[in-house]
Structure 1
Amino acid sequence: MKVLSVVGARPQLVKLAPIAAAFAGTEHQHVIVHTGQHYDADLSDVFFTGLGIPDPDVHLGIGSGSHGVQTGGVLTAMDPVLDAEQPDWVLVYGDTNSTLAGALSAVKMHLPVAHLEAGLRSFNRRMPEEHNRVLTDHAADLLLAPTEEAMRHLANEGLSDRSVLAGDVMVDVCLRIRDAVLAGEHPQPELPEGIDPEGPYLLATLHRPDNTDGPQRLSAILDALADLPVPVALLAHPRLVARAEQHGIKLNRGSLHAGRPLPYAGLVAAVLGSAGVVTDSGGLQKEAFLLDRVCTTIRPETEWVETLQGDWNRLVPNPFELGASEWAAVATRPVPGSERGVPYGDGRAARRVVRFLEEHRR
């Protein structure tokens, strides 16, 4: 069996790591196509080296651009690759422009498509990720759902006959890296200057267009973070840096200490060393949950609704609308006493994905 994985952004590279490892233990051929959607070394190269992912077989070099330009670029570049490879499955990951373009290119060439992390829904149609994941689910032949909730969403859309519960491959890699960090197999993460790795700190990321594109909202969110009574290690995504520079907004002020994004092991270590996480990232919400740290999500909704149980994750659409003491109490709240459960699986999802691809091969 030949499976061609299409990846292009940081979260997809993390999911690729356990899938590549699972294929390495078989006689199947696994071809990796990197679209280049994330071309920054901090969001791409370090994940191949740090997670032991084989080098891509094909690199499309698409780079940045508007949604239409990026999606169209991947579509144009994928056709000759798929024509040459003729895989038994095209495996797409998550909800990016690379995901949608990879799925569309394969469908047009009558190649079977499997969607890893199918069935997630925010029900927020302002998010480009929501359109990408819904369109990909309805185009794909096999839907690899991470949770029971995702399976319910797919059933509600009439897709249950194509859906299987695979579990979440992010659990596979997160728990493996956690154990390695705790065993001292990775160096201390390079936190932003001014953050004491031994002292209490919050870890923060911010990158979604709704939070970063408008100068007033971005400034207000950063003001709220800067006013917290605990130092905040802000891992500044290139999008955030670009928007802050464009709007003339300083990232380093008050409690805020900005630094570069971390490789995955460094991120896991930074979360483990933190008192909690503040983010608008989907992946980091779940990683905080898996690593027993509270998360405060600057969004009105989350796809990972399981993290909300027991107050492990709390949604705050507008932190600047809270009083200073109320916002501080939310962001610095203690770890809940409740059990968080295992809604995302047992850490063996990647092996199930390979088995499902074998069983559903045409």
Structure 2
Amino acid sequence: GWEATKAGHDVIMTPVSHMYFDYYQGSPDHEPVAFNAFLPLEKVYEFNPVVDSMSVEQKKHVLGGQANLWSEYISTEAHSEYMLFPRLTALAEVIWSPKEKIDWENYTHRVRKMMQRFDVMEINYAKSAFAVQQESTIDLETGEITVALHSEFPDTEIRYVLGEAELTPEAALYQTPLKIDSTTRVKAAVFENGKQMGDTMNKFFDFHQAVAKSVTYKFEYSASYPSTGETALVDVLRGSKYFKDGRWQGWINNPAVVTIDLQELKEVQQVVVGTLEEQGTGIYFPEELKVEVSQDGTNFQQVAVTTRDYQTNPGAKIENFKLDFKKQQAQYLRVTIKPLSETPKGGGAWLFVDEILVN
């Protein structure tokens, strides 16, 4: 669009960054299947068809903006409504309003009133903006995890519970980040006037024997998908179905060969490997996983292996591969995760891993 205006052409701006409504608008774990990219309501509201770097003459050629809804994954009118609303209201406001009138916080209050109209009109709109999102970090020295909760709408009432308790309007009110240092589940949701407004965030934090332990790699992970670096596979923090969420470590054309040093002899009997598949983007489940153990870091003994045949999978899917073996003492575990050797379309397969749990 920018180059077209520079050449003197009239344009309707429809950038992929803000205007592709076939993208997910909330966590893929809760949303209907969509193209595996992310476009939340607030991002749509940030759209301005007139780019600041355009000259005065270029800006005269911008006629407006346009949203796109590609329908590869959409087979019903209800699904199309879900992808369009309320994002279409955000587009309408920023296109038809003077720049000085654009106010996200003000809009979030008014669009909630609009949602009440959608209810009356029986429009199947998305409530993704009410969904609770979590941002977690781990202190590798103490092993403590800090969990911050928020929603896309500002000033929302978030309530939460720990463990398996039921989430109700009387649950604890979230005010400050949560501190977690042992295995537990966190459930949270936005409430208004005693009514739950969006899906329940349900996040399980599984503290295992390898948390924050030393990890070495035979083959370096891809610089494009490093996750959080060398401790990413032993930090408790798990990935979502969105492969760009920053929690997945990726390899291409190489297996993941990871050695974990537990720092002392421990009794072990299981390894769990978290993996992702999104065949449309070239990410496939592994075809073989193998576990070897050692007491000295030099002499390793194979204790478990599992294989998986290729299966067609149209969407994003997470699979935790469990490898059980006889209890034994070990300080070192070497986990080899082999990618799919032959993809349906040819070429190398991406291998994505988010955690290696040792029990």
Larger strand percent = 2
TM-score by length of 2: 0.28
Which of the two has greater helix per residue? 1
Report which structure shows greater RCO (CA 8 Å, sep ≥6): 1
Larger radius of gyration: 2
